[in-house]
Amino acid sequence: MSNVPQELRYTQSHEWVLAGDDGQVTVGITDHAQELLGDMVFIELPEMGAELDAGDECTVVESVKAASDVYAPVAGTVVAVNEKLVDAPELINEDPYGDGWMFRLQIADPSQLDSLLDASAYEVVESED
Amino acid sequence: MTSNKTPLYQQHIEAGAKIVDFSGWQMPIHYGSQLEEHHVVRQSAGVFDVSHMNVVDLNGSGSKSFLQHLLANDVEKLTVPGKALYSCMLTENGGIIDDLIVYFMNQDWYRVILNAGTHDKDMAWIRQQLQNFTDATLTERPELAMLAIQGPKAIGAFTSLLPADAAAKVSELAVFQACELDDMFVGRTGYTGEDGVEVILAAEAAVDIWQKLMDVGVKPIGLGARDTLRLEAGMALYGLDMDETTSPLVSGLAWTVAWQPETRDFNGRKALETEKQNGPGQRMVGLLLTGKGVLRSHQQVQFADGGNGQITSGSFSPTLARSIALARVPATVKTGDVCEVDIRGRLVPAVVVKYPFVRNGKAVIEIEQV
């Protein structure tokens, strides 16, 4: 069974979101998603400073098997990207909720977070996959 | 779609396989990590369940002349019992119906191994072609399982399970040569660019050998790694690198067409001769991505002179830690030419290289050249 940490929020498209106190959120893909995609070999991260709308395709991850888009879970400005992944995309497989984080957004409207899934709702999404 | 399982399905589940549908077969794509499995085959020994492949026997004194008509390569080359030949089976237009391996066992017996995904059309075609021949009988052998044991340590591991005389027989096999043991057919062939054997045997014996291979440390390898291994080895895959709309001449398979003797009238010969005379407009080349990303099937390739082509199969090469591909490009393209590949809207630089990319665990292209 894949790992679904209780403290995170999730999307239908398998991103996780960690909300900080500073109006910033950290985004990555779930354990379930990395398992489905298999060994990661390439990532194209968003540009720093990019203004994203919720649902924008902003990152591409490629596993040995296939390319896959990662979507912005909420609207915001890219304030950090995990450059480590460029040379070590396998971190996404090894530690999807830790060293495998992808980017951080400064969000204008924290109420957007309410529309995301909680852990138990995401477990249902997973089980239907 | 029907859902077939091989005799080893339960073994796959027990080994933690992720199962996917492959041409109607429930097959293991990997057992955890496709990359690790790839490296195991390059460095040690792995076993693939390829029981979904289509094993057929042709018996009778007319088998040889039938195969000489059916295949673009010439079974006349096979004189030593057990010797194998790779060939395409063509339409009258020279398109590839399937690629296959044919083993010459004796004057009255050839064994042919075809792809699983093309089973129905292959069988329909062969049966239709057979109507014009006598003394050749086709028998499908779906009851037989097939294992590919591949890697530098594969033959050592496999022969350690056999009685001494059988082990000696297998160890002495020449490349592309098969022998019959008491209860199995063993050929020194494969689809990985490594040494190894392919073993055809009854279902129960396959389960037994599989378990014994696990016990001596041979790892199960999924179809995912099979694809990256064959791509590194520069081996074409039916359905991606070739199909009924492409001839062997534009699929990097001209070497498999036996033009001599001129009197041999095989299916597709006239079309191929015309294509050869006119000069095929395209050829198959290897590509090494010099920019960042991963090459995939169907991506467009653009050359500086305006010529363009298409990637037929591409992936990340675990051995080279770079992305590689086979691509069908204008015939004027040469090794060393640079191009740009359209990867999801980005134009990424690549260079034309000779393939295979990897053989026997080693890179055979020079990464430094780029």
Q: How confident is the model at residue A109 (pLDDT cuts 50, 70, 90)?
A: confident
Q: How confident is the model at residue A125 (pLDDT cuts 50, 70, 90)?
A: very high
Q: What is the Cα–Cα distance from B92 to A107, expressed in whole angstroms?
A: 64
Verify whether the Cβ–Cβ distance B34 to A44 is below 8 Å: no
Which pTM value belongs to this model?
Answer: 0.93
Verify whether the Cβ–Cβ distance B294 to A44 is below 8 Å: no
- Residues B147, B228: one domain? yes
pLDDT higher at B297 or B364:
B297
Nearest chain A residue to B318 by CA: give it.
A64
Q: What is the Cα–Cα distance from A41 to A46, expressed in whole angstroms?
A: 17
Question: Per the structure block, which two tokens stand in for B365?
Answer: 């292209």
Residue numbers in B near A66 (CB within 8 A): 296
Verify whether the Cβ–Cβ distance A64 to B292 is below 8 Å: no
Q: How confident is the model at residue A127 (pLDDT cuts 50, 70, 90)?
A: confident
Chain A 3-42, residues with CB within 8 Å of chain B CB atoms: 38-39, 41-42
Residue numbers in B near A44 (CB within 8 A): 292-293
Nearest chain A residue to B19 by CA: give it.
A36
Q: Is B315 on the interface with A (CB under 8 A)?
A: yes
Verify whether the Cβ–Cβ distance A64 to B296 is below 8 Å: no
Q: Is B226 on the interface with A (CB under 8 A)?
A: no
**What does residue A20 show for φ and ψ, rounded to 5 degrees?**
-95, 175
C-alpha distances in angstroms, B224 versus B49, B107, B209?
12, 38, 22
The confidence score (pLDDT) of residue A1 equals: 62
Shortest distance between the Cα of A110 and any Cα of chain B, in A, equals 32
- Residues B162, B225: one domain? yes
- Residues B351, B220: one domain? no
Q: What is the Cα–Cα distance from B26 to B38, expressed in whole angstroms?
A: 21
The confidence score (pLDDT) of residue B3 equals: 85
B224 with B34: CB under 8 angstroms? yes
Q: What is the Cα–Cα distance from A100 to A21, expressed in whole angstroms?
A: 21
CATH number of the domain enclosing B356: 2.40.30.110
- Residues B168, B43: one domain? yes
B20: exposed, middle or buried (Cβ count in 10 Å: 0-12, 13-18, 19+)? middle
Mean pLDDT over residues A91-110, rounded?
A: 96
Three-state DSSP class for residue A76: strand
Query: Does B57 reside within a domain?
Result: no
Q: What is the Cα–Cα distance from B322 to A113, expressed in whole angstroms?
A: 39
Query: Does B63 reside within a domain?
Result: no
Cis peptide preceding B356, ω within 30 of 0: yes
Mean pLDDT over residues B322-335, rounded?
A: 97
Instruction: Compute the CA torsion angle B84, B88, B89, B95 (nearest 10 deg).
Output: 180
CATH number of the domain enclosing B184: 3.30.1360.120
The confidence score (pLDDT) of residue B365 equals: 82
Q: What is the Cα–Cα distance from A64 to A47, expressed in whole angstroms?
A: 24
- Residues B175, B307: one domain? no
The confidence score (pLDDT) of residue B201 equals: 98
Q: What is the Cα–Cα distance from B140 to B54, expressed in whole angstroms?
A: 8
Name the helix (H) or strand (E) containing B278.
helix B269-278
| % pLDDT > 70, chain A | 99
- Residues B188, B302: one domain? no
Q: How confident is the model at residue A108 (pLDDT cuts 50, 70, 90)?
A: confident
What one-character-per-residue DSSP string does B101-125 give? Answer: EEEEEETTEEEEEE-STTHHHHHHH
The confidence score (pLDDT) of residue A129 equals: 75
pLDDT digits (tens, 9 = 90+) for B267-309: 999 999 999 999 999 999 999 999 989 999 999 999 999 999 9
Three-state DSSP class for residue B74: coil
Instruction: Say yes or no to pLDDT of B369 above 70.
Output: no
Q: Is the CATH code 3.10.450.50 the one for domain A9-108? A: no
Q: For A121, how many CA atoms within 13 A lie in the half-sphere containing its CB? A: 14
Instruction: Say yes or no to pLDDT of B1 above 80.
Output: no
The confidence score (pLDDT) of residue B42 equals: 98
- Residues B149, B18: one domain? yes
- Residues B220, B294: one domain? no
Q: How confident is the model at residue B370 (pLDDT cuts 50, 70, 90)?
A: very low
Three-state DSSP class for residue B97: strand
- Quickly count helices (H) and strands (E) in chain A: 4, 9
Nearest chain A residue to B296 by CA: give it.
A66
Query: Does B258 reside within a domain?
Result: no
Residue numbers in A near B293 (CB within 8 A): 42, 44, 62
Query: Does B194 reside within a domain?
Result: yes
Strands A76-81 and B358-359: unpaired
Residue numbers in B near A62 (CB within 8 A): 293-294, 316
Q: What is the Cα–Cα distance from B231 to B212, expressed in whole angstroms?
A: 29
Mean pLDDT over residues A72-92, rounded?
A: 97
B14 with B28: CB under 8 angstroms? no
- ipTM score of complex: 0.82
- Residues B33, B175: one domain? yes
Verify whether the Cβ–Cβ distance A42 to B224 is below 8 Å: no
Q: Is A83 on the interface with B (CB under 8 A)?
A: no
Selecting from B29, B228, B344 the residue whose C-beta is nearest the C-beta of A60 gives B344
- Number of structural domains in chain B: 2
Mean pLDDT over residues A78-96, rounded?
A: 97
Q: Which domain holds residue B350?
A: 281-369
Other beta carbons within 10 Å of A50: 17
- Counted across chains A and B, CB pairs separated by less than 8 A come out at 36
Q: Cα–chain-centroid distance for residue B355?
A: 15
- Residues B225, B288: one domain? no
pLDDT digits (tens, 9 = 90+) for B61-85: 999 999 999 999 999 999 999 999 9
Averaged confidence pLDDT in chain B = 96
pLDDT digits (tens, 9 = 90+) for B215-267: 999 999 999 999 999 999 999 999 999 999 999 999 999 999 999 999 999 99
- Residues B154, B214: one domain? yes
| % pLDDT > 70, chain B | 98
